[in-house]
Amino acid sequence: MFFASDNTSGVPQQILDALGRANDGFSLGYGADTLMERVRDKVRTVFEAPEAAVYLVATGTAANSLALATHIQPWQTIYCHRVAHIEEDECAAPEFFAGGAKLTLIDGAHGKIDPEALRRTLDEAPQGVHHVQRGIVSLTNLTERGARYSVAEVAQIAAAARAHGLPVHLDGARFANAIAAEGCTPAEMTWKAGVDVLSFGGTKNGLMGVEAVVLFDPSRAWEFELRRKRGGHLFSKHRYLSAQMDAYLTDGLWMDLATRANAMAERLEAGLVAAGVRMVHPRGGNMLFVEFPLKAHQALRAAGAVYYDWPAPPPADAGADFPHQARLVASWSTTEAHVDGFVERLTAAL
Amino acid sequence: MFFASDNTSGVPQQILDALGRANDGFSLGYGADTLMERVRDKVRTVFEAPEAAVYLVATGTAANSLALATHIQPWQTIYCHRVAHIEEDECAAPEFFAGGAKLTLIDGAHGKIDPEALRRTLDEAPQGVHHVQRGIVSLTNLTERGARYSVAEVAQIAAAARAHGLPVHLDGARFANAIAAEGCTPAEMTWKAGVDVLSFGGTKNGLMGVEAVVLFDPSRAWEFELRRKRGGHLFSKHRYLSAQMDAYLTDGLWMDLATRANAMAERLEAGLVAAGVRMVHPRGGNMLFVEFPLKAHQALRAAGAVYYDWPAPPPADAGADFPHQARLVASWSTTEAHVDGFVERLTAAL
Amino acid sequence: MFFASDNTSGVPQQILDALGRANDGFSLGYGADTLMERVRDKVRTVFEAPEAAVYLVATGTAANSLALATHIQPWQTIYCHRVAHIEEDECAAPEFFAGGAKLTLIDGAHGKIDPEALRRTLDEAPQGVHHVQRGIVSLTNLTERGARYSVAEVAQIAAAARAHGLPVHLDGARFANAIAAEGCTPAEMTWKAGVDVLSFGGTKNGLMGVEAVVLFDPSRAWEFELRRKRGGHLFSKHRYLSAQMDAYLTDGLWMDLATRANAMAERLEAGLVAAGVRMVHPRGGNMLFVEFPLKAHQALRAAGAVYYDWPAPPPADAGADFPHQARLVASWSTTEAHVDGFVERLTAAL
Amino acid sequence: MFFASDNTSGVPQQILDALGRANDGFSLGYGADTLMERVRDKVRTVFEAPEAAVYLVATGTAANSLALATHIQPWQTIYCHRVAHIEEDECAAPEFFAGGAKLTLIDGAHGKIDPEALRRTLDEAPQGVHHVQRGIVSLTNLTERGARYSVAEVAQIAAAARAHGLPVHLDGARFANAIAAEGCTPAEMTWKAGVDVLSFGGTKNGLMGVEAVVLFDPSRAWEFELRRKRGGHLFSKHRYLSAQMDAYLTDGLWMDLATRANAMAERLEAGLVAAGVRMVHPRGGNMLFVEFPLKAHQALRAAGAVYYDWPAPPPADAGADFPHQARLVASWSTTEAHVDGFVERLTAAL
């Protein structure tokens, strides 16, 4: 009953096998390995983007920060949601990589940027020399609250950016989950909707620590490479990143993993709703934000269930019926037994 | 006959096995994995430093840059050798992480800082408000030219730094090779000789991409953690770094690997010297810088030998006897067959 | 009828005279001029702070950015009001000088930080490694909306900061106006209320471009000096800054200038209120934010009155009675004739 | 007998008068003053560069750092002389403003970049992703050792830069002295010789603290404006900078001042040489680097002469005939009496 985060799970056997295969012999370093050529081809095929520049890094913070820094100037601002990962969970890495740029926070329900609020903010941004300049719009799908932008909604955000000539970044730490749930193609969710640069997550969906950055417009590719190196994010034994991403994109593994995680979250949601639990945010993929009485929380914890209180632990004086809120994340390795056990315990406690 | 670099080799089976074992079940992320506790203990034991703070990152550039930035201010300078990795091969990552600090270059034979030159430079550095201030001294062992500082020589450099109250950083990308060749303890080469912070390399010596940063004085540990996160170098699935380093430090694997690499370099050197090849720098561990006639180079390349021309490719009009220079690096996976084959080809060509 | 800003006025004759006197002969540069010693003494006397470190720079942006950067780390955040000058009008200079730090915006009426909102934000700020750390609290008096913190209110803000061990910065671009209106001593408004570092404005109150930074705790003085130099803000012919600040602090000139500006704003307010104009924010010193019908605005502009529409120009289709808002700033050089002429025109137009 | 530096002198009466005139009435701030239009026109006329973008800042460090940062990326390097002001005397301001860029030092006699050394360094600079990339070439005229590049020599340096597509920056803190001595036009020394951006010094030649940055290619003008603001170098009461530069460029004042300073240095040189003093560097304008016996130094100091020991104070045990070296700088305000008095004292002491 481990629902703390999708990054607390391991990796599937295919990934271990791929590492084993990649380990044979000598290989040129720093991205010149032959596996990386295959990865590049596969990413381009998956995204129907034959010109895209594709790079691997090991963390989502690196992917986001390098992608953003490559598209803005230090005196510009990044428009993102108030609860975006780049705002709340990266210790100001985007500001660091972008040389002191700013983040401008936009509101919106369920972690989704409200397009009208974005439009208004962009329209009203003063552009004189005293003010930070408009830089880029960054959105996250799935959002930090587990919701999902539809393709049309991504396009709406991108159109607001485009109206001011701004590029669009998509933080896709859970991109696979979003695609799997939305039932669209990767191209539809990205460049066809107006996205210029994607952090294409692998780590939360079954890799050890591999994210791809996909630059649909390759004109800044060399700058990205220099920023990656300078940030300490270019791996000498790069083949071990390549091997994982290669296996991830083989025979649809990445979609299978995300589909399984989503299905487990759906099953969990169904069980919880049947038990009368309130969903705080609509489920977009593999994450649930739920509200249930404190007594249920206590029973679950006593039974060894692991998940985050969200947004906060219960007050010290909260009673048994206090409406406690929590975050539950399913991953590719979540099983029906985990889910059903969790639902049973909770139902029993109510 | 692959002598391009020690980072072109794979990892030993123990490392793959460790990854497989670490893969089971759920694990807290971001360094809170239980394996990391074991790694911390082992590093402290290996270095006889029970108070040391220990962190893992995935690249040498990250290790060096974060270690240095944690010890200096942006208006200070890092004293290092003119050919140090941090000066020549990191695309100004130290300057980036340290917020615009400077590197002050010191000369010395074979990539080793001349202690007298360092002393003079430090003594003469103007310290008024117009000038960058003295920050830290960074040395590399093995050096970029394959030479080795003895323990006494490290202590001499550290004493020069200490005379001005400066901390000392040791870039130990090939620390294991240096220790194995020097026959000293890790403590003797580091804190006992005056080193404050160590980049303890694993990647070049058989890991996929893991380096430890060891802060012998743990007072800046929290700053290091924040800088690591902010640099995008904190891994969510941290257990895969821990597992590798844990295996590396188990049953002396790290020393075995380095000893083997050194032995292969020694065997190669013996064969080459016997064939009349000149050593450009004295061998300190697993790297050779050699000079042989161009005709030998051509024969070796034709036979599939891989290594770097160093410092430069031969001129277009060079004749068969042109004294060509090259770098040859042995790794843990270099075999006697590789070495002997190389020597035979070369001998035959002369 | 020029009410655009207090920085559009010139300097009083005393300042010109002081420059003339300072011009004689040779003088050591970079702050080693003898006039600077006098300035330091005077500032310390005025603030009853015999240990304070005192530095001069030429712009408010430099004063604020250097003062802030000297007190925080790049991974920390500056708490300030949503409309603070450092947030809205300095093109991310604080972020630049502080190496990529963040600003966290607090709301509150009339440009004043709501102490309860600040307390809550500070209490709830997550302090793990993923998050920016609490750095400093910066408040502005007079605020950007012309209101004034009382001494007790400054102390309240400072106490909230102190509860978390944070230092406090006061942006005093209009400090003299605040002091003059509040009727307190400079010490009462600053270190006695818990302020650690002050941007002590001169430019808006009659100097050509001189601001003092006062570090009540001098322990970071040398760091400030290095940051000032490195920012290009250390003047070689420093005597011309010293001379202005010296004259400013002689015979209470600085208070006389501010008192006059405040009196003109008060007279303007009285006239406007009598004419039925609404004050958008309470007047704290020399700035008014007013609302009057568009027809009055049009008449005033036709008569040559200069001031800023605030927050925005009237819509294109606004009618004669549209409630237009504007900012009116009095300075030391504003005359009764300016004020009365403005009031007359407006009254006539209504 | 004050020869410490040209920035220890005051300003001529014309500058004080200009400030007095500029002081009347209200004026828009931040460079929108009408005087600045005149300055822009005058600079363009003086440089025969009708398209040039022209900006004022208050310090040479600001001018250099902003000019350089506007032309390079953080992962590039600035090629300059080993003793350039940007390397030795700006506390790493260029590195700060350029986001962590590097300086690559070139040797050459008398502070002048050796063109052959520059060419070689540029040709051999590795351009892979591991290395800082070529950014800009910066030269200083007069040099920090008082020597002068001829127009042909500037063109030679610029040609070496151009061969690699690099822009060229000229640090002209003593540009007027160089022009006056060289007898060429400002255009010949700058854009006609291949210079892209000039720090056009005023402070050392009679202004209180005003330098112009001239961008001969105006395509980066807006970036420069944003960097200036963000660096805290945009003055609200900008008219006081404009007024000084306007007067400086009126009726050839700037050339008169430089010509006078050069003439005083020439007179001093003649007197010293006649007394047997050795010139350490050839005089290019208003600076002398000289060597005379310690006894002369002691006599001069006893008589109140002020100048810098250069490069260092005499050793404690130096005898009366120790060949002491010093720097002597003449300014617009140096008089024949100063010069002759100095020469007399020295001659008497020998």
CB A170 within 8 A of CB A198: yes
Kind and range of the H or E run holding A58: none
Q: Which pLDDT score, from 0 to 100, does residue C331 have?
A: 97
Q: CA D184, CA D285: separation in Å to the nearest integer?
A: 13
Contacts of A227 in chain D (CB under 8 A): 75
| Coil, strand or helix at D340 | helix
- Report residue C1's pLDDT band, with 50, 70 and 90 as the boundaries: confident
Residues 6+ apart with CB under 8 A from C145: C83, C110, C111, C280, C281, C287, C289
Which of A230, A234, A238 should be substituted to probe chain D, the one whose Cβ sees the most D Cβ atoms within 10 Å?
Answer: A230
The verdict on a CB contact (< 8 Å) between C96 and D8 is: no
Q: Output the CA–CA distances (angstroms, integers) from residue A46 to A43, A188, A218, A286, in the order listed.
A: 5, 11, 17, 22
Give, as one character, the DSSP assignment of residue C316. Answer: T
Coil, strand or helix: which one is A340? helix
Tokens describing residue C136:
């400093």
Taking phi over 0 as left and psi of -120 to 50 as alpha, with beta for the rest, D111 belongs to: left
* Amino acid letter, residue A330: A
Backbone φ and ψ of A320, nearest 5°: -60, -25
pLDDT at D44: 98
HSE-CB at B328 with a 13 A cutoff on CA atoms is 34
Give D208 to chain C, closest Cα distance, Å: 6
Contact (Cβ atoms closer than 8 angstroms) between residue A323 and residue A288:
no
Query: By the CB < 8 Å criterion, does B322 face chain D?
Result: no
Nearest C-alpha of chain D: how many angstroms from C17?
A: 10
Q: According to the model, what pLDDT value does residue B11 have?
A: 98
For residues B261 and B331, is the Cβ–Cβ distance under 8 A? yes
Please state the rounded mean pLDDT for residues C151-163.
98
Q: What ipTM, to 2 d.p.?
A: 0.97
Q: Report CB contact under 8 Å: C229, D60.
A: no
Query: Any CB–CB contact under 8 A between A91 and chain C?
Result: yes
* DSSP letter, residue D306: B
B319 burial level (CB within 10 Å; 0-12, 13-18, 19+): exposed
Q: Which residues pair with B168 in a beta bridge?
A: B137
Terminal Cα-to-Cα distance of chain B (whole angstroms): 18
CB contact B226 to C (< 8 Å): yes
> Is there a contact between B65 and A232 if contact means CB atoms under 8 Å apart?
yes
D98/B99 touch (CB, cutoff 8 Å), yes or no: no
Q: What angle do CA D116, D287, D109 make, to 5 degrees?
A: 20
Spell out the domains of chain A, with CATH numbers in brackets. Answer: 13-252 (3.40.640.10), 254-349 (3.90.1150.10)
* Residue C81 pLDDT grade (very low, low, confident, very high; cuts 50, 70, 90): very high
- Write the pLDDT tens digit of every residue in C111-127: 999 999 999 999 999 99
Stretch 98-157 of chain C: residues touching chain B, C-beta under 8 Å: 99, 129-130, 133
Enclosing H/E stretch for A196: none
Q: Which chain A residues are Cβ-neighbours of C74 within 8 angstroms?
A: 92, 96
What is the Cα–Cα distance from B337 to B327, expressed in whole angstroms? Answer: 19
Complete edge-to-edge strand list for the sheet that includes strand C323-329: C278-279, C287-293, C323-329, C308-309
Inter-chain residue contact B230 with C99, CB threshold 8 Å: no
Q: State which residues of chain A have pLDDT below 50.
A: none
What size, in residues, is chain D?
Answer: 350
- Residues (pLDDT < 50) of chain D are none
Calculate how close chain A gets to B15, using CA atoms only, in Å: 10
CB pairs under 8 A between A and B: 143
Q: Are strands A197-201 and A168-172 parallel, antiparallel or unpaired?
A: parallel
Contact check, Cβ <8 Å, B62/A233? yes
CA dihedral (C262, C264, C268, C273) in degrees, to 10, reads 40
> What is the percent of chain C with per-residue pLDDT over 90, rounded to a whole number?
98
The residues with which C170 forms a beta bridge, in sequence order, are C139, C198
Q: Say if CB A93 and CB A63 are below 8 A apart.
A: no
User: Nearest Cα to A274, choosing from A330, A350, A208?
Assistant: A350
**Angle in degrees, CA A78, A79, A80, rounded to 5:** 110
Q: By the 8 A CB rule, do C25 and C35 touch?
A: no
The model's pLDDT over A49-63, given as tens digits with 9 standing for 90+, comes to 999 999 999 999 999
Structure tokens at C323: 């409630």
What is the structure's pLDDT at D1? 81
Chain D residues whose CB is inside 8 A of the C29 CB are: 5, 7-8
Angle at the Cα of B102 from the Cα atoms of B119 and D96, rounded to 5 degrees: 150
Cα of C278 to nearest chain B Cα, Å: 48
Rounded to a whole number, what is the distance in angstroms from the first to the last CA of chain A? 18
pLDDT surpassing 90 at residue B218: yes
DSSP3 helix / strand / coil % (chain A, rounded to 5): 45, 15, 40
Question: How many angstroms separate the CA of residue B281 from the nearest CA in chain D?
Answer: 22
Q: CB–CB of A133 and D226 under 8 A? A: yes
Residues 195-214 of A with CB under 8 A from B: 203-204, 208-209
pLDDT tens across C55-72, in order? 999 999 999 999 999 999
User: Mean pLDDT over residues C4-18, rounded?
Assistant: 95
Cα separation, A163 vs A120, in Å, equals 12
Give the model confidence (pLDDT) of B152-208 as tens digits.
999 999 999 999 999 999 999 999 999 999 999 999 999 999 999 999 999 999 999
- Report the mean per-residue pLDDT for chain A: 97
Q: Do D219 and D51 touch, CB atoms closer than 8 A? A: no
Residue D81: strand pairing partners: D106
What is the three-state SS of chain B? Answer: CECCCHHHCCCCHHHHHHHHHHCCCCCCCCCCCHHHHHHHHHHHHHCCCCCCEEEEECCHHHHHHHHHHCCCCCCEEEEEECCCHHHHCCCCHHHHHCCCCEEEEECCHHHCCCHHHHHHHHHHCCCCCCCCEEEEEEEECCCCCCCCCCHHHHHHHHHHHHCCCCCEEEEECCHHHHHHHHCCCHHHHCHHHCCCEEEEECHHHCCCCCEEEEECCHHHHHHHHHHHHHCCCCCCCCHHHHHHHHHHCCCCHHHHHHHHHHHHHHHHHHHHHHCCCEECCCCCCCEEEEEEEHHHHHHHHHCCCECEECCCCCCCCCCCCCEEEEEEECCCCCCHHHHHHHHHHHHHHC
- Helices assigned H by DSSP within D98-192: 115-124, 151-162, 175-182, 186-189
Residues 64-83 of D with CB under 8 A from A: 73-75
Instruction: Please tell me the predicted confidence (pLDDT) of residue B1.
Output: 82
Q: Is D276 on the interface with B (CB under 8 A)?
A: no
Within 8 A of A101 by CB-CB distance, chain C residues are: 92, 95
Is the CB of B95 less than 8 angstroms away from the CB of D95? yes
Of C322, C327, C326, C315, which is closest to residue C294 (Cα–Cα)? C322
Q: Which amino acid, residue C73?
A: Q
Residues 6 or more apart whose CB falls under 8 angstroms from that of D71 comprise: D135, D136, D167, D169, D196, D197, D220
Q: Establish if C32 touches chain B: CB-CB under 8 angstroms.
A: no
Please state the pTM of the whole predicted model.
0.97
Q: C129 contacts in A (CB within 8 Å)?
A: 91
CA-CA distance, C156 to A39, in Å (whole number)?
A: 58
Average confidence (pLDDT) over C218-236? 98
Subunit contact B99:C74, Cβ cutoff 8 A: yes
pLDDT score of D76:
98
Q: Are B97 and B135 spatial neighbours (Cβ–Cβ below 8 Å)?
A: no
Q: Which residues from chain B sit within 8 angstroms of residue D96, using beta carbons?
A: 74, 99-100
Tell me the CA distances in angstroms from B179 to B152, B172, B175, B186, one per residue in order.
13, 10, 6, 7
Q: Do B30 and C74 touch (CB under 8 A)?
A: no
Q: Is D317 exposed, middle or buried (0-12, 13-18, 19+ CB in 10 A)?
A: exposed
pLDDT at B349 over 90: yes
Amino acid A1: pLDDT: 81
Residue D202: Cβ within 10 Å count: 29
Instruction: Using CA coordinates, name the residue in chain D closest to C330.
Output: D26
Closest CA to B236 of A90, A103, A95, C126: A90
Q: How far apart are the C-alpha atoms of C213 and B2, rounded to whole Å?
A: 62
Strands D133-140 and D76-81: parallel
Contact C243/C19 with Cβ under 8 angstroms?
yes
Query: Cis link prior to B142 (omega < 30° from 0)?
Result: yes
- Confidence label for B149 from pLDDT (cuts 50, 70 and 90): very high
- Contact by Cβ (8 Å): C87, A77: no
Q: Which candidate, C57, C51, C70, places its Cα nearest to that of C31?
A: C57
**What distance in Å separates residue C194's CA from the closest CA in chain B?**
27
Q: Report the percent of chain B where pLDDT is more than 70.
A: 100
Q: Are strands C197-201 and C168-172 parallel, antiparallel or unpaired?
A: parallel
DSSP character string of D14-33: HHHHHHHHHTSS----TT-S
The minimum CA-CA distance between C25 and chain D, rounded to whole Å, is 6
Instruction: Flag whether residue B323 sits within 8 Å of chain A, measured between CB atoms.
Output: no
Cβ of C93 within 8 Å of Cβ of D236? The answer is no
Chains that touch A (3 or more CB pairs under 8 A): B, C, D
Residues 234-273 of A with CB under 8 A from D: 234
Q: Return all residues near C21 (Cβ < 8 A) that are at least 6 apart.
A: C243
CB B174 within 8 A of CB B185: no
